[in-house]
A and B are shown apart, each in its own frame.
Chain A
């Protein structure tokens, strides 16, 4: 038994100031170590995975990309969809962009689902399904004490305070002042609510390279915590809400398709569980609709009427070719040189055409448009041409639409299980 310690008199202080200084120094060092550790962790990893390969030797000098991408609009155009690491810091930098530059940058940030023209295999196993709220798709960024929502074309919808991280100028104890977040939302006019359909960045952590499974998990656990789902108040002008997301089995599909939601539905969205958030068109997120679940099954014209002939919006290229917004673009026709000269169209202009049903062919599963009739230049607000899948979907919608029964049939529970699935997700 060790000898007893001499008891300290109550009149003598327990800790010497030197000891306190040592402890404070240690505390400061621990804090700073953890800060630099966190800074390092928030620099996105260069090891990223493309949808099909798991190669980790694809290493990009991401600093160069960061500077390049931020430099000018010209470089932004070169921004490869797969260069995920660049985006995270771009969001911060892009928040400082103004006007047209900002619009052009933000117009490229949304993940755009393709239209479902055929049913992907293993829908029940690898996909989620949910009812798409009717409204404007937008990209919501909270940073620097304010929140800005931007439409698909990059223009500002709302500029407002919110309870999102650093989304208002209240003294927020929940994070550093530099914190920010990025959400993919649909603004639903009737109840003035932002329905969050995806989470892109949360409190400085980029979720671009996370699977949808993880992003939805994160979205569901984090959004409510922030208070963003609360009713509007002075420092929180619009309510945010998550949408119910289902596994794409019979029950899930049924729930998304026919159950009533607190919002007006506009079709159904399918998300592949393993897909990362990829800007631009992606076949790993799909949209589908019919007359039952959407008021906008067939495209309408500027008067809100369904035109007798299907209309498409295509982008004119340098050489007069008319292309879709896909990457690489699909060519649906071309304009005569003298027509171009007469009309003073320039490369990049979006032009609206009507198509004659009888001139349309499906060759080897590929859609070919015959006779394109020029209608007008497209609405200025529009940023992109139609995608190939959209044109195809609208064509099919007018002739032999893909029905809910077809989708349900593809996920019958008795379908043979021909390929074992390796679950690589941790902790799910």
Chain B
């Protein structure tokens, strides 16, 4: 999940701009959001700080200069950890002068990172204007590059064709020409930029396989060509044209990303840094930008500490207030953001850390907004990467952030709030781990708890800075929203303590004539509902509930109503449900609540959407409870929600989506007595889906809308099918519709040319499971789409869901699935060996092999020679994965689980048939795999459960032969023992089964 989220995020950021512009893109986004907010008052606010607070510039060749430090006056309310304030602690820091009144930061300063820089390396000589024969003259190149950006499509197409040809005919010459073009200051900026972009695209691609190809292609190029290209790029860094420099920076980073891990171009960083302080400022700026991109491109392991020291020295020096050029300081601050990940060692050194922190904090006070913003971004990054190193800086950071939140421009203020949100994230994670194991790698410093008395008033102030119409804007992000979000995180971090700090604000503002005050009070209330104990909240909510219900119907302001409906939803989400001992909802007030919500669903779209959301959680709270008070109103609820979906303005504020989501939840949580009404709903939704299929010759806009609506309706059908299919009695009622439902789904598929509809696919999985063996009659019509889904590498979610549907079909059809197995197996094996398919789909494919084997039993024989070697090599790969991070380990474990499920299915599939002996040759490897997993010691619980089950399957299917093998494996015995004494009941159960299966085949 994390993987895909990140991917989506990156995709969104990259857009048409390309990866290296992520940074710029991000800035752009934030600026865009803030353009609503900038007020004249803020613009006028001048910075009261002198340009440089620190009179001692860092010295890199000698001992650290004594720092001038003193403490600012603190607001009396704040009491931070006193480590840095106690006299004893003071001794730990090389603070010599504590009386300089100009220095606002308490921590001491060192100016040197690691050892001295080595002498400058010889700068490579290159011939900038060398002409290449294959690609014509440089004028010609220029013209083609310009033509490729022409408005006239024919001209453009022709130019693109030429470029492609040149590239195919003579790649080295092509790359060289492009780098010459980029380096040539006499060329037009547009041709230079495109030359750089094409170079960059020749080195990197989003898609993994393509990327690997490009890397190999570059590495296999002639060394002379490569060094000529690199020379041109380095040369471009000193160009007077900013776009050329910036483009060159990105290309250099791409090459560094390829070569540094190969221990090539080792002189790059040294040569960039060799004479950095002698450079003209525009060159210095480009060099720092390049260093930043390099840090973003390569992993910290690739750069040795010596070079890290040099990078940090240069970057921090560039950030120093004594640096005259603003551009240099901006570039340096942004570069530091990327370089922070490299600074592990430096952050472990008190003096160096103090120095970096001082420089960053100083930059947050820069007169230049861009620098302040970048500096706060650095602080945010530090808060998550170096949480455990922050104790002695928190007091100062609080002062800085509080000032920024109250006084600075919105983009800066947002980052300052983000710092606290990020600290909350860290502490929530740590406390979460405490909850599981009373232990965490990083201890919790309770920064939030300590800052609470000052932090909460600061956040509450932000809530009053709403924008008009922010609720209608999907992408809106402003001070009030960030402040409320942070308040919510603070609440999750500290729990009960927040309530007395926020209640006075709510009470004071909730009845004020100014809508901003009423909205802020309501928003504050909604934000503190997740985290505190229900004991603490229920009395408050009990008194507030009626007020909220009245406000939702009677408040004249839409913002207030919007936030009120949202707050009600939060109340139902966290303080109502069968899990809770006391619920704020009773049979008495439930009906009143329902009346208000159904009424609000007729309000303006954004309020109606929130009312749907509240109903969603109201219904969810009655899951698993018998006799929901909503049952008598079920018909009315459904009708109201359907009415919402038919509103003309249902397209606004994602109202239609919210209505269907709520309808789904109401159906999903309904009790069995409601089944007849759900059965009646089925043809209604089918009719809606039918209507979407009637439109002819749609515009692309209409097609997108049709597609979205079909998605919602298929989703709804999926929920209904799953509900009615779950029990024999309710299943009967919907069986009569199955033919028509299936026909509809096939027509939804047919609406598209090349891809299949994900929602329809999900729904078919549920349908197949409900229908069982009779589903076979739909297979002929469905099979082409199934195959299409399996081939959809582009939308890998669709592929993954289709793989899951194959599993559903296996369980529904059992051995009747045999006739289509050849086709499915061919595709699945193809998918497994493809490097184009998103890796997250591969574990489910392995599991799916197990589903197939279990369904068709010994008929799986013919696939063994293909499937087993593939499982074997994947097993080897996954058991020896050195997981560098959690995400990698998680993936390795998903892969292992998939492989083991495949083995399990195959072994069980062959049980009780003479052909089971065919599996004997594979048994040693399966055991070795389990041995290896056991020895690696990084299996998660799911893998453990599956692995120990496979031990049992081996014995169960292969009998005493397996037990002989198992006797030779030490690990499997220990592993079994370990699983038998596991605390996890599912591991234990699986282990007990294995132990039993093994003991059954042990002979006298």
Which positions in A face B, CB cutoff 8 Å? 1-11, 13, 17-18, 21-22, 24-26, 28-29, 32-33, 36-37, 40-41, 43, 45-49, 51-54, 56-57, 59, 62, 205, 207, 209-211, 213-214, 218, 274-276, 424-427
Contact = CB atoms under 8 A, between A and B. Distances in A.
A86 B876 CA distance: 39
14 contacts: A3-B13, A6-B477, A10-B487, A10-B527, A22-B797, A36-B811, A47-B959, A49-B959, A57-B917, A209-B1001, A274-B1003, A426-B998, A426-B1002, A427-B976
Contact of A425 (B661, B759, B999): B999
B762 A41 contact: no
Given A21-B762, A211-B999, A47 B719 contact: no
Interface stretch (B115-123, B193-201, B334-342): B334-342
B26 A3 contact: yes
A424 B380 contact: no
B943 to A, nearest CB: 14
A29 B482 contact: no
| Shortest 3 CB-CB contacts between residues of A and residues of B | A47-B959, A56-B959, A54-B1003
A11 B958 contact: no
Contacts of A47: 916, 956-960, 1001
Contacts of B354: none
Is chain A's binding surface mostly helix, strand, loop or mixed?
A: loop
B1000 A213 contact: no
B335 to A, nearest CB: 11
B831 interface: no
B711 A18 contact: yes
A274 B566 CA distance: 66
Contacts of B661: 17
B912 A45 contact: yes
Given A36-B854, A207-B996, A5 B9 contact: yes
A10 B912 contact: no
A211 to B, nearest CB: 5
A56 B998 contact: no
Nearest to A62: B912
Contact of B905 (A1, A4, A37, A43): A37
Interface hub of B801, B916, B1004 (most chain A Cβ within 10 A): B1004
A329 B990 CA distance: 43
A238 to B, nearest CB: 26
B377 A4 contact: yes
Given A17-B664, A40-B854, A426-B999, A29 B481 contact: no
Interface stretch (B83-91, B932-940, B961-969): B961-969
A1 B1002 contact: no
A6 B377 CA distance: 12
Contacts of B993: 41, 205
A22 B484 contact: no
A210 B1001 CA distance: 8
A9 B477 contact: yes
B1002 A41 contact: no
Contacts of B1000: 45, 48-49, 209-210, 276
A52 B484 contact: no
Nearest to B711: A18
Contact of B999 (A4, A7, A51, A214): A214
Contacts of A7: 418, 421, 477, 482, 485
B250 to A, nearest CB: 15
A11 B484 contact: yes
A218 B996 contact: yes
Interface string B948-982: 01001100111111010011000001001100100
B999 A33 contact: no
Contacts of A37: 854, 901, 904-905, 908, 949
B23 interface: yes
Interface in B447-487: 477, 481-482, 484-485, 487
A426 B482 contact: no
Contact of B23 (A3, A6, A8, A56): A3
Interface hub of A1, A4, A51 (most chain B Cβ within 10 A): A1
Given A56-B960, A59-B914, A17 B715 contact: yes
Contacts of A3: 13, 22-23, 26
Given A2-B6, A49-B1003, A21 B718 contact: yes
Interface hub of B340, B657, B909, B997 (most chain A Cβ within 10 A): B997
Contacts of B660: 17
B5 to A, nearest CB: 8
